[in-house]
């Protein structure tokens, strides 16, 4: 019976298993399948309030809910209830961790001592949000123990973490075994194959660059577009990227390409070279220098001399990429406009493909292409998630004469404005901006985990300022779609149609001095909270001259920010 229940717990939706049974019996079975606390070691009568609280959380929520809550909120406190679940109620986190810190402790563990899948959730949490210097090694020891018989029993929530960690540690043989036995998607299989053949990693088994390129190009050839090649030399593997378009198109509408830069270095030349290689030859490139300073003039002059179609617009005040793009809109001449980051690389057929799509599909106001992030050493996999193709927000292309009179420009924030712009265009025109998914990685983005954006995203986590901005923009776009608010955003912050965190305006963090704090509960995924009573209370307090703060209270059952 115990083994049967253990097996059935792998299926998170269990109601269908017992549909012929009475509701009370169904609830009894479901509770024992999804929550095994009924067979845990009993809680000591002398348990402290903290221990009782951890036990309560462990009994009430699954390892999936606990780990996702911990990842999304950077909560190290979740380690305690996860350790209780992992050890069937026998050990707290310190006691469990102590057993994994030595080879003797690991050797003393028996399969009946720990629940392996839940141990993987704990290892993932420790790895993503380390507290102590030895946490990475502790996470690795837990992962090794949980996967010592292979990845076959690994749950889908923890499989990317497990495979990415093995890949990061150079254990290619284990990853190949996983690829042979598990049903990875074709895209993920290709990405892992590319990284396994990376000849620039330490102690690489493959030293053949062409073999790496052939694997990388499998999806490009399948899509019928030019394969990627490598220059003989460069600052990094990423800076050696190149490709040759099969043909050149010299007629057709002019496309304006806008690249914003601040304190550029050699990476700008890599970005510009990919523009020069475009099959669509009727383009102009406007490089907007966001007040870099006189010492960066030689870099800008060098790239401007690469082609007469390149112009440099120098701003005297630094305002961020989206302010710079708004200024660029006053200086472009193209029938179409698109954007390109100063450290990225675009496929030579990207402009051609996006222009032809808009010409052939006039019902769409804009389009985007897909991007693939790449580390400077050529690796496609990084971090604790196996990231595949995504929407290249910077690649958005549209007709400025059609779009700008309706939506104005980009929200003049410091970050996140390109996603907001795409969604606002879709809401304003009543049709979502499509991403051309038939073509893999028309944009390759140079990824630096320490960059402005890289430091604000993690495994199941985004900085709270990002989440607040998304929530505010989502409400604004819903109002646009309903016809109750204008989609037009002017170039100045006072023109903004929705509130945003000060962090998005470049303002320093500050301590708020308030008289009252209103607690707003989180809501389950897919639901909305009715916040009218809270809003009325806030309005009443403000009319009394009181300073009001708002704090969101989330739990594993109520993790989301959504309200009306």
Q: Is the model's pLDDT at 126 over the cut of 50?
A: yes
Query: What is the C-alpha to C-alpha distance for residues 253 and 244, in angstroms, rounded to an integer?
Result: 22
What digits encode the pLDDT tens for the residues 419-429?
A: 999 999 999 99
Q: Is the model's pLDDT at 12 over the cut of 50?
A: no
Query: What is the C-alpha to C-alpha distance for residues 355 and 368, in angstroms, rounded to an integer?
Result: 10
Residue 79 has φ and ψ, to the nearest 5°, of -55, -35
Read out DSSP for 266-317? Answer: THHHHHHHHHHT-SB--EEEEEEEES--GGGHHHHHHHHTT-TTEEEEEESS
Instruction: Identify the sign of the CA torsion 268, 269, 271, 276.
Output: positive
Q: How many CB atoms lie within 10 A of CB 556?
A: 22
Query: What is the C-alpha to C-alpha distance for residues 121 and 69, in angstroms, rounded to an integer?
Result: 11
What digits encode the pLDDT tens for the residues 403-424?
A: 999 999 999 888 889 999 999 9
Q: Is the model's pLDDT at 448 over the cut of 80?
A: no
pLDDT of res. 562: 43
Lowest model confidence (mean pLDDT) among 29-33, 188-192, 449-453, 508-512: 29-33
Coil vs helix vs strand at 93: helix
Tokens of 177: 């075994």
What digits encode the pLDDT tens for the residues 467-489?
A: 788 888 899 999 999 999 999 99
CA dihedral 424, 428, 431, 434 (to 10 degrees): -30
Q: Is the model's pLDDT at 128 over the cut of 60?
A: yes
Give the HSE-up count for residue 261: Cα atoms under 13 Å, Cβ half-sphere. Answer: 30
**Beta strand pairing status for 516-521 and 548-553?**
parallel
Query: What is the C-alpha to C-alpha distance for residues 26 and 15, in angstroms, rounded to an integer?
Result: 7
Residue 376 has φ and ψ, to the nearest 5°, of -55, -30
Query: What is the C-alpha to C-alpha distance for residues 468 and 447, in angstroms, rounded to an integer?
Result: 24
Task: Give the residue with greater pLDDT, 454 vs 305.
Answer: 305
**Beta strand pairing status for 457-458 and 461-462?**
antiparallel
Query: What is the C-alpha to C-alpha distance for residues 159 and 153, in angstroms, rounded to an integer?
Result: 9
Query: What is the C-alpha to C-alpha distance for residues 551 and 564, in angstroms, rounded to an integer?
Result: 16
Coil vs helix vs strand at 164: helix
Which range scores top for mean pLDDT: 163-177, 236-250, 502-516? Answer: 236-250
pLDDT of res. 18: 47
Coil vs helix vs strand at 335: coil
User: pTM of this prediction?
Assistant: 0.82
CA distances from residue 546 to 324, 510, 519, 538 in whole angstroms, order as listed: 39, 19, 16, 9
Query: What is the C-alpha to C-alpha distance for residues 327 and 337, in angstroms, rounded to an integer?
Result: 13
pLDDT of res. 209: 95
pLDDT of res. 257: 98
Coil vs helix vs strand at 51: helix
Looking at the chain, how many residues does it have?
Answer: 564
What digits encode the pLDDT tens for the residues 276-299?
A: 999 999 999 999 999 999 999 999
What digits encode the pLDDT tens for the residues 522-563?
A: 666 666 667 788 888 888 989 999 998 877 766 665 544 443
271: nearest Cα among 204, 340, 371, 181: 340
Give the HSE-up count for residue 90: Cα atoms under 13 Å, Cβ half-sphere. Answer: 12
**Distance of alpha carbon 288 from its chain centroid, rounded?**
27
Q: Is 428 within 8 Å of 508 (Cβ atoms)? A: no
Kindly report the CA angle at 512 between 508 and 518, in degrees rounded to 5?
A: 130
Angle between helices 79-86 and 93-100 (to 10 degrees): 70
Burial of 177 (0-12, 13-18, 19+ CB in 10 A): middle
Query: What is the C-alpha to C-alpha distance for residues 447 and 432, in angstroms, rounded to an integer?
Result: 27
Chain position carrying tokens 């050529």: 378
Chain position carrying tokens 């497990």: 162
């Amino acid at each position: 019976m115990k083994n049967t229940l253990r097996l059935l717990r792998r299926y998170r939706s269990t109601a269908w298993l017992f549909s012929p049974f009475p509701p009370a019996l169904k609830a009894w079975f479901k509770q024992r399948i999804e929550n095994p606390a009924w067979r845990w070691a009993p809680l000591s009568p002398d348990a402290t309030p903290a221990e009782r609280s951890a036990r309560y959380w462990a009994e009430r929520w699954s390892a999936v809910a606990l780990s996702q809550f911990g990842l999304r909120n950077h909560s190290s406190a979740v380690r305690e209830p996860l350790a209780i679940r992992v050890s069937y109620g026998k050990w707290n986190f310190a006691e469990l961790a102590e057993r994994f810190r030595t080879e003797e402790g690991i050797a003393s563990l028996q399969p009946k001592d720990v629940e392996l899948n839940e141990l993987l959730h704990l290892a993932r949490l420790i790895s993503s949000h380390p507290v102590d210097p030895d946490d990475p090694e502790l996470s690795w020891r837990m992962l090794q123990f949980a996967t010592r018989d292979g990845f076959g029993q690994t749950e889908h929530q923890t499989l990317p973490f497990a495979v990415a960690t093995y890949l990061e540690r150079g254990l290619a043989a284990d990853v190949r075994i996983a690829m042979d036995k598990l049903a990875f998607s074709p895209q993920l299989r290709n990405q892992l194959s590319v990284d396994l053949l990376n000849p620039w990693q330490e102690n690489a088994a493959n030293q053949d660059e062409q073999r790496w390129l052939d694997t990388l190009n499998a999806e490009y050839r399948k899509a019928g577009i030019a394969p990627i090649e490598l220059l003989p030399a460069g600052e990094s593997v990423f800076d050696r990227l190149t490709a040759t378009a099969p043909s050149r198109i010299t007629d057709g509408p002019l496309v304006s390409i806008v690249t914003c830069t601040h304190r550029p270095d050699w990476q700008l030349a890599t970005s510009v070279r990919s523009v020069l290689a475009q099959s669509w030859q009727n383009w102009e490139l406007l490089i907007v220098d966001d007040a870099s300073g006189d010492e960066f003039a030689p870099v800008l002059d060098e790239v401007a001399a690469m082609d007469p179609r390149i112009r440099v617009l120098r701003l005297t005040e630094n305002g961020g990429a989206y302010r710079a793009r708004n200024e660029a809109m006053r200086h472009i001449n193209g029938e179409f406009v698109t954007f390109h980051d100063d450290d990225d690389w675009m496929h030579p057929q990207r402009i051609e493909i996006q222009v032809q799509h808009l010409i052939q599909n006039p019902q769409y106001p804009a389009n985007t292409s897909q991007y693939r992030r790449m580390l400077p050493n050529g690796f496609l996999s990084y971090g604790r998630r196996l990231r595949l193709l995504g929407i290249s927000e910077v690649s958005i292309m549209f007709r400025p004469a059609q779009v700008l009179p309706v939506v104005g420009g980009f929200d003049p924030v410091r970050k996140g404005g390109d996603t907001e712009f795409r969604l606002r265009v879709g809401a304003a025109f009543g049709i979502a901006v499509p991403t051309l998914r038939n073509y893999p990685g028309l944009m390759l983005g140079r990824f630096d985990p320490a960059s402005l954006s890289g430091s604000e995203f993690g495994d199941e986590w985004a900085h709270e300022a990002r989440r607040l901005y998304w929530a505010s923009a989502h409400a604004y776009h819903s109002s646009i779609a309903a016809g109750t608010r204008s989609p037009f955003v002017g170039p100045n912050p006072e023109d903004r149609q929705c509130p945003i965190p000060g962090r998005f305006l470049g303002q320093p963090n500050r301590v708020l001095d308030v008289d009252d704090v209103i607690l707003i509960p989180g809501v389950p995924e897919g639901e909305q909270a009715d916040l009218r009573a809270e809003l009325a209370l806030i309005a009443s307090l403000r009319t009394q001259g009181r300073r009001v703060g708002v704090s969101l209270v989330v739990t594993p059952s109520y993790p989301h920010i959504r309200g009306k």
